[in-house]
Amino acid sequence: MTMFAAKFRIVVGAFALLALAVSTRPASAQQPNSVNPQASVVKEQQLLQQLKTIEGRGTIPDTKSYTIEQPAGRDWRHFHEVTLRWIGAIIVLGILAVLILFYLWRGMVRIPGGRSGRTIVRFNAFERFVHWMTATCFIILAISGLNVTFGKPLLLPLMSPEAFTAWSQWAKYAHDYLNFPFTLGVIMIFLIWIAGNIPNHVDVEWFKRGGGIVGHDHPPAYRFNAGQKTIYWIVVLGGTAVAISGYVLMFPFYGTDIHTMQSAEIAHGIVAMLLVAAMLGHIYIGTIGMEGAFEAMGTGTVDLNWAKEHHRLWLDEEMARTGPNESQRQPALRPAE
């Protein structure tokens, strides 16, 4: 009997130990698929997988704020922190590499007959004002926008967190206010130059002959050649796209939901990178790429030989309109240095 009682005690003890062991195993091990919403952030991933969306309760009227996490938010964050950085780096560094190689191969496109010393008005003061206002705003918007995308990985390691915060804050102010004159500039550019930028048959020929920059030919063109028309439409359409998506971002949730906001940021980021690339190409041709081009927007006049080479049909029209004595202004003669 005593033996039996001893064995009984051992069996009961073993069961008791087993029950204790089972009851002290972690909650997740007991029920591998269940979720404890009170658990620490370590369980956040599991919670998200199970519930897809993490929502809470709130007291403020903005019910959107009750959603703390949603799967699309992670996709968007990945786009913002990884995909857009790759897209931007490839587009911007790619175009810079192409331009450097092109310059090494082609050099500056010269005026074949040299300068005549006589000039003709190409852009009046108002046109130049609109151009430079839009260009200045664009450059500041591009730098401040690129800081949103690349500032943290590229600049933060080079400066103190306080300096990076101060710089980013000013950049953000610039981005939030200079978009207004930029948008006005895009509208003005559309209106003042639309007449000369409607595509026509001359443009086809211009492209076929490499536009005088790829080849050494100088196909005829009216006031704007096919290359300039391309830039014009990139600015008008790209500027409109970046402005619309930008205003959606600036005024969040006014008639938009979270998905529209995320799409707007994706569209804004990609169009912005493409615009930066197009403008780098534009700046290249307007400066070191082509002799005599910068002065068109600098002083507003171009050399007659430059006009003859690049915009023969426009020069003919101007001559017919004003007569050779009027349009061929007196030489901007300066003594040779």
Read off the tokens for 34: 């269940």
Residue 74 one-letter amino acid:
R
Q: Exposed, middle or buried: residue 275 (CB in 10 Å: 0-12, 13-18, 19+)?
A: buried
Q: Which residue has the tokens 């205003």?
A: 247
- 76 part of the interface to ligand HEM, by CB under 6 A: no
For residues 190 and 160, the answer to whether their CB atoms sit within 8 Å is no
Q: Cβ 95 to ligand HEM, closest distance in Å?
A: 13
Chain Cα centroid distance, residue 37: 40
Q: Which is nearer to ligand HEM, 98 or 140 (CB)?
A: 140
Q: Cβ 251 to ligand HEM, closest distance in Å?
A: 9
Q: Which helix (H) or strand (E) holds 68?
A: strand 67-69
Residues 155-214 touching ligand HEM, rule: CB under 6 A, are 172, 175, 179, 182-183
Residue 165 one-letter amino acid:
T
Q: Which helix (H) or strand (E) holds 121?
A: strand 119-121
Beta bridge partners of 55: 67
Read off the tokens for 11: 């069996």
Q: Is 57 helix (H, G, I), strand (E, B) or coil?
A: coil
- 315 part of the interface to ligand HEM, by CB under 6 A: no
Q: Which is nearer to ligand HEM, 171 or 302 (CB)?
A: 171
Residue 247 one-letter amino acid:
Y
Using the contact rule CB under 6 A, the part of the chain among 139-147, 188-196, 197-205, 207-215 near ligand HEM is 139-147
- 84 part of the interface to ligand HEM, by CB under 6 A: yes
Q: Which residue has the tokens 């101007």?
A: 318
Residues 261-280 touching ligand HEM, rule: CB under 6 A, are 265, 268-269, 272, 275-276
For residues 270 and 87, the answer to whether their CB atoms sit within 8 Å is yes
Which position among 89, 121, 249, 319 is part of the footprint of ligand HEM (CB under 6 A)?
249
Q: Exposed, middle or buried: residue 137 (CB in 10 Å: 0-12, 13-18, 19+)?
A: buried
Q: Which is nearer to ligand HEM, 120 or 186 (CB)?
A: 186
Q: What is the DSSP letter of 287?
A: I
Q: Which is nearer to ligand HEM, 229 or 268 (CB)?
A: 268
Which position among 138, 193, 284, 314 is part of the footprint of ligand HEM (CB under 6 A)?
138
Using the contact rule CB under 6 A, the part of the chain among 58-66, 108-116, 146-154, 197-205 near ligand HEM is 146-154
Binding mask 95-134 for ligand HEM (x = CB under 6 A): ----------------------------------------
- 281 part of the interface to ligand HEM, by CB under 6 A: no
Residues that bind ligand HEM (CB under 6 A): 80, 84, 138, 141-142, 145-146, 148-149, 172, 175, 179, 182-183, 242-243, 246-247, 249-250, 265, 268-269, 272, 275-276
